[in-house]
Amino acid sequence: MGLSAPADPDHRPLPDLIDTFERAAIAAGQAIMAARAAGASVSFKSDMTPVTQADKAAEAIILARLTEQFPGVPVVAEEMAEDGKCPTCTEASYFLVDALDGTGDFIAGRNEFTVNVALIRDLKPVAGVVYAPALGRIWSGAGLKAHSGAVDELGEIRDRREIRTRALPKTPVALVSLSHREPETEAWLDLLPPHKTTHIGSSLKFCLVAEGKADVYPRLVCLHQWDIAAGDAVLRAAGGVTLDLDGVPLEYGVDNADFGCGRFVCWGRHPDLPKARRRG
């Protein structure tokens, strides 16, 4: 009988860890699409943001998979936090999960929503998967390698390829939120050289920068760490960086019981634009 894989994610080979994340994300995505077909009901959380049956069903699937594979490793997830059930993460490693990022896009019938699973180790997102079930696309990143692929109707990943960020072109592409127009972000973008701006929802922005289809993504309003951890892991593995407004790499789980995160800017390549980077 062969030895079973260790339960500690820090000792699991990165390809095995990514496979676990991908399987969980795809199963959650299937539940989301089934809920969409059935007409998921909408309610509102304490902060008046929407939540659906799809959010809860998808999160339950991911939590079950992670706790089965990694018993005892803390998991911080969006709907769990809303219910006041988040663990206190004093460990060096834990999981961050946003089972349905872009609930507003999901409710509106748009396809730019994602499933997000990440491992945080020593304050950094070291492995992550982002899955867009309505688009049939998946992205993963761990260590120094990131990949994208297509997911077929059976939930199998096809056409997997390695992705890298691109050098900043003469006319860079900046990504901003599809549903949240922020004056602070618009003012920050005014400091960039001539550029194109594209509006897109959810953590897809990280993925487009990671695969060299865009160059910068500023977010100058506070989010939660589960919103960005998986996309940030993909971006970093593809050669990108996520910096705070002082130009310091963003850290996770730092003196922050509610797992909020400050303002940040994602770059495909480390920038030499200090004025723009430090705009606050």
Q: Please enumerate, by residue number, every residue annotated as part of a binding site.
A: 78, 98, 100-103, 227
Which residue positions form the known binding site for substrate?
A: 78, 100-103, 227
List residues bridging with 197 in a β-sheet: 174
| Helix/strand/coil for 63 | helix
CA-nearest of 168, 149, 167 to 159 is 149
Quick check: 24 and 65 in contact, CB under 8 A? yes
Adjacency order of strands within the sheet including 216-219? 196-200, 173-177, 216-219, 264-267, 241-243
Distance CA 204, CA 274 (A): 26
Distance CA 110, CA 201 (A): 9
- DSSP states along 124-151: EEEEEEEEETTTTEEEEEETTEEEEEEE
Which residue positions form the known binding site for Mg(2+)?
A: 78, 98, 100-101, 227
